[in-house]
Structure 1
């Protein structure tokens, strides 16, 4: 996977967008490799957490604007543009939606347009001090085509989301943390080590409980409170039958650190 690197470090899988000379802008090859990597993360029980980051000084600049301009000049029609999104770009958020394992994003530099939207898909987002964010679609007369208009207001509220979408202005890392766009800002050199430490902590935790909590949060966002309680009761029934639950309760009673097995 030359345009996308995929490696494992224990129970953590690391996906690295690897077109640093092009701002890690999407290509068809990168998108296909990205989906395959996510599918492997979903299917492989040994992978318990996933980290996404970018190579070089830019996290992701989203779609390749130069390619878009060439396509427009060549007469690419609305149907072709729509099909490019649904058949390629949208495969990433839809696959992420199937991933019930922790998905952490380490934003190592500028995240713009669809690149910012890809960062929004993380369960947790950590940013380098040099990171900055922009819903830059408006700068090229475009709209957010990769889920940003759905995800962003749910994270930072409608007025701030519309401000970012309508202006395309950059938001610095410190401001992103203040408005809840990222969980934490770190010195550039500490970004990936910190993100990996969090991922490793989650990967060594009670796997079933962690995955069920992610499902509960996601379903709760689209459920009534009684429905959420009913789902919670079902999850409690499942998790209480796991080896990790028995180990955790025994360790608590014995005043020792539990040794989770992920089952």
Structure 2
């Protein structure tokens, strides 16, 4: 099996991190494949939702330092950060389809940042999170300083970023880092159920909702209402909108085609 696998089945794209011997720490090649998978999912009409998960009881331990060891110059490290690592986070932000993380075990450093870049995180009871950069004399390198305050608030984010301490599963739930907790055996089924519900929903409306929520973070209220009006006009013109109305009146389950 490859270190990273991307598959699509019944409208659900799955990015599987598959280096269990290294707790799914990513290599340069994995970064390129990860970004490409997200870009492919964005333009593929057959993909309605994407999930990211890991094998071997871990989500992602961040950068594989052995793979990056030969990059010693400051310029080389900046190039790798900007052109390889950041491309994954950028592709995640550009994806206007639901992006769900299934976190089982550790999500550390850039691995935690990658999870934070997802829209929703479901976790197992053995999940552990850490913005561990400061413990090796570094700063958050993959969006953590931007994403974490928006989830837990500035004061708590600073405490976690400054200390690099581990957040256990129950605390992660309390802080809103994860949406729900499940036993390790039940996590996959819970994520499958959420992804299936989203994939079966009206994709044009779901993508519009995500854009409105993301854009609303940096827009004032009246601008946000203007964006809603523009998006609503598009959504109401779709076949899916007409199907939803017809299904409601006839008391049946709608079938959405993405048009």
What is the TM-score with the length of structure 2 in the denominator?
A: 0.97
| CA positional deviation for 1:258 | 1.4
Moved over 2 A (4+): 65-68
| CA positional deviation for 1:58 | 1.4
Query: Given the alignment of the two structures, is residue 198 of structure 1 paired with residue 194 of structure 2, yes or no?
Result: yes
Which residue does 1:207 correspond to in 2?
203
Which residue does 2:31 correspond to in 1?
31
Which residue does 1:52 correspond to in 2?
52
Which residue does 1:175 correspond to in 2?
171
| CA positional deviation for 1:36 | 1.5
Aligned partners of 2:137, 2:36: CA distance in 1, in Å? 32
Which residue does 1:16 correspond to in 2?
16
Query: How do 1:87-98 and structure 2 match up within 5 A?
Result: 87-98=83-94
User: C-alpha root-mean-square deviation of aligned residues, in Å?
Assistant: 1.2
Aligned partners of 1:162, 1:101: CA distance in 2, in Å? 29
Does the aligned pair in 1 maintain the 2:28–2:67 contact within 8 Å? no
| CA positional deviation for 1:67 | 4.4
Aligned partners of 1:40, 1:66: CA distance in 2, in Å? 29
Aligned partners of 1:53, 1:85: CA distance in 2, in Å? 22
Aligned partners of 1:77, 1:33: CA distance in 2, in Å? 24
Query: Given the alignment of the two structures, is residue 79 of structure 1 paired with residue 75 of structure 2, yes or no?
Result: yes
Aligned partners of 2:160, 2:241: CA distance in 1, in Å? 43
| CA positional deviation for 1:34 | 0.9
| CA positional deviation for 1:26 | 1.4
1:107-164 deviation digits (Å, cap 9, x = unpaired): 0110000000000011110001110100001111111010000000000001111111
Query: Given the alignment of the two structures, is residue 148 of structure 1 paired with residue 136 of structure 2, yes or no?
Result: no
Does the aligned pair in 1 maintain the 2:52–2:101 contact within 8 Å? yes
1:50-96 deviation digits (Å, cap 9, x = unpaired): 0100111211010123445x447xxx122211111001000101111
Aligned partners of 2:244, 2:58: CA distance in 1, in Å? 41
Does the aligned pair in 2 maintain the 1:204–1:262 contact within 8 Å? no
SS across alignment from 2:52: strand
Aligned partners of 1:172, 1:163: CA distance in 2, in Å? 15
SS across alignment from 2:185: helix
5+ residue gaps, structure 1: none
Query: Given the alignment of the two structures, is residue 248 of structure 1 paired with residue 244 of structure 2, yes or no?
Result: yes
1:192-219 deviation digits (Å, cap 9, x = unpaired): 1111111111111111000000000011
Which residue does 2:64 correspond to in 1?
64
What is the TM-score with the length of structure 1 in the denominator?
A: 0.95
Give aligned pairs, total. 259
Query: Given the alignment of the two structures, is residue 220 of structure 1 paired with residue 251 of structure 2, yes or no?
Result: no
Does the aligned pair in 2 maintain the 1:41–1:50 contact within 8 Å? yes
